[in-house]
């Protein structure tokens, strides 16, 4: 068995790029950030080279946030994780001990260099007249949203709907509202990007619940005015966090680069790229510059409305939680 393992390892090393000549870090990220990190990585590599003369390669992995967290727990040696919700990184800390439980305090803004919200993407002309959350539960409206069990974006969508219902209809009616909404969902993709593909490319559904940045990206990719963005009256403040995975970075000797990489996201250069890719920046100067892109809307937070992610997850997304119950009830 040893020789087999050894052989395979040799092959593995042989096919990996020569990591000794330059530094490489692995950024394990969630689904929609592909374009963002493509741009960030280029800029950071240039910046790092200018500052230290060292060449750094940033390898990217993308997938549903929960799935990515699971991979890191199972041994995917991420130097940094940039996931969709704090809960996923909490799980990495809890289940594998690769980073401390207090990770979120280490960077500004609760370790979220950018934030976003949930908006609606509709087809040209908005034929179903969708203006706000309550339009989503009308009969005959098909809503596309991914599966909250695997997609971070989907969890934000779910809690945004729940939060809206709590505020406008009262806590008692919230479950009924979300049940009716999921009654209108014909297909559940496992990631935010899959859902966007289903809506945009496969022509399914009347409205897509999406990260704001996804909605903008989809509109631009599709070209023309094939799609419109509808900003609801109120939505959730979605804060996707970033963190260095201490033990992995220490093992690879990349702690300094990894930390610099994350700090780069907070610099004006990084914030500029972030805003350009439709993520709401933290830097007030950059935010002012892009004020036209990001419509102001009332946002509520997970902490205030749901008592934090741990409680929200237990109540809604754990086995037997509200999503499971709703889905059983919505089974047609």
Q: Name the β-bridge partners of 211.
A: 118
Near another protein by CB under 8 A: residue from 125, 203, 253, 296: 203
Identify the bridge partners of residue 60 per DSSP, sorted by sequence position. Answer: 27
Count CB atoms within 10 A of the CB of residue 255. Answer: 17
- Write each residue from 247 to 286 as x if it is in contact with another protein (CB under 8 A), else as -, in one continuous string: ----x-----------------------------------
Angle, vertex CA 98, rays to CA 93 and CA 99, nearest 5: 60
**Minimum separation from the CB atom of position 328 to another protein (A):** 6
Q: Name the nearest CA neighbour of 78 among 319, 251, 327, 225.
A: 251
Exactly one of 43, 45, 47, 77 binds another protein (CB under 8 A); that residue is 77
Which residue among 23, 25, 31, 181 contacts another protein (CB under 8 A)?
31
The 99-138 contact track toward another protein, x by CB under 8 A, reads ----------------------------------------
Closest CA to 78 of 152, 87, 88: 88
| Alpha helices (H) in the chain, listed in sequence order | 2-15, 34-52, 65-73, 86-96, 108-111, 152-169, 171-183, 192-200, 212-222, 246-252, 255-264, 268-276, 284-289, 302-306, 309-312, 322-330
Choices 74-82, 103-111, 113-121, 125-133; region in contact with another protein by CB under 8 A: 74-82
User: What is the enclosing helix (H) or strand (E) of 28?
Assistant: strand 23-29
CB of 327 to another protein, least distance (A): 5
Identify which range of 111-119, 180-188, 256-264, 275-283 contacts another protein by CB under 8 A.
180-188
Mention every residue, 6+ apart, whose C-beta is less than 8 A from residue 293: 216, 275, 278
- Interface contacts to another protein, rule CB under 8 A: 1, 4-5, 8-9, 11-12, 15-17, 26, 31, 34-35, 59-64, 66-67, 70-71, 73-77, 91, 95-96, 147, 149-150, 185-191, 193-194, 196-198, 200-204, 218, 221, 251, 318-319, 324, 327-328, 330-332
């Amino acid at each position: 068995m040893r020789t087999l393992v050894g052989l395979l390892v040799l092959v593995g090393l042989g096919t990996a790029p020569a990591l000794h000549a330059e530094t490489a870090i692995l950024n394990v990220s969630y689904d929609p950030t592909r374009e963002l990190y493509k741009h960030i990585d280029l800029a950071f590599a240039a910046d790092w080279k200018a500052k230290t003369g060292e060449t750094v390669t940033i390898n990217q992995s993308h997938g549903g946030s929960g799935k990515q967290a699971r991979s890191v727990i199972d041994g995917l040696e991420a130097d940094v994780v940039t996931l969709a919700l704090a809960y996923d990184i909490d799980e990495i800390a809890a289940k594998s001990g690769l980073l401390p439980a207090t990770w979120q305090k280490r960077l500004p803004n609760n370790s979220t260099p950018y934030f976003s919200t949930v908006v609606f993407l509709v087809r040209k002309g908005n034929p179903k007249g969708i203006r706000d959350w309550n339009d989503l539960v009308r009969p005959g409206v098909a809503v596309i949203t991914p599966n909250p069990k695997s997609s971070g974006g989907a969890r934000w969508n779910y809690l945004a709907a729940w939060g809206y219902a709590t505020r406008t209809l009262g806590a008692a009616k919230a479950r009924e509202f979300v049940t009716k909404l999921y009654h209108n969902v014909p297909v559940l993709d496992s990631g935010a990007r899959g859902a966007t593909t289903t809506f945009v490319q496969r022509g399914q559904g009347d409205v897509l619940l999406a990260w704001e940045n996804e909605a903008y990206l989809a509109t631009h990719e599709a070209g023309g005015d094939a799609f419109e963005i509808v900003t609801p009256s109120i939505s959730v403040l979605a804060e996707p966090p970033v963190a260095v995975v201490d033990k992995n970075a220490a093992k690879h000797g990349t702690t300094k680069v990894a930390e610099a990489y994350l700090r780069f996201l907070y610099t004006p250069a990084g914030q500029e790229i972030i805003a350009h890719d439709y993520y709401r920046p933290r830097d007030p100067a950059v935010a002012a510059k892009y004020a036209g892109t990001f419509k102001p809307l009332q946002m509520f937070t997970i902490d205030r409305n749901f008592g934090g992610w741990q409680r929200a997850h237990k109540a809604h997304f754990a086995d037997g939680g509200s999503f499971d119950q709703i889905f059983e009830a919505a089974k047609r």
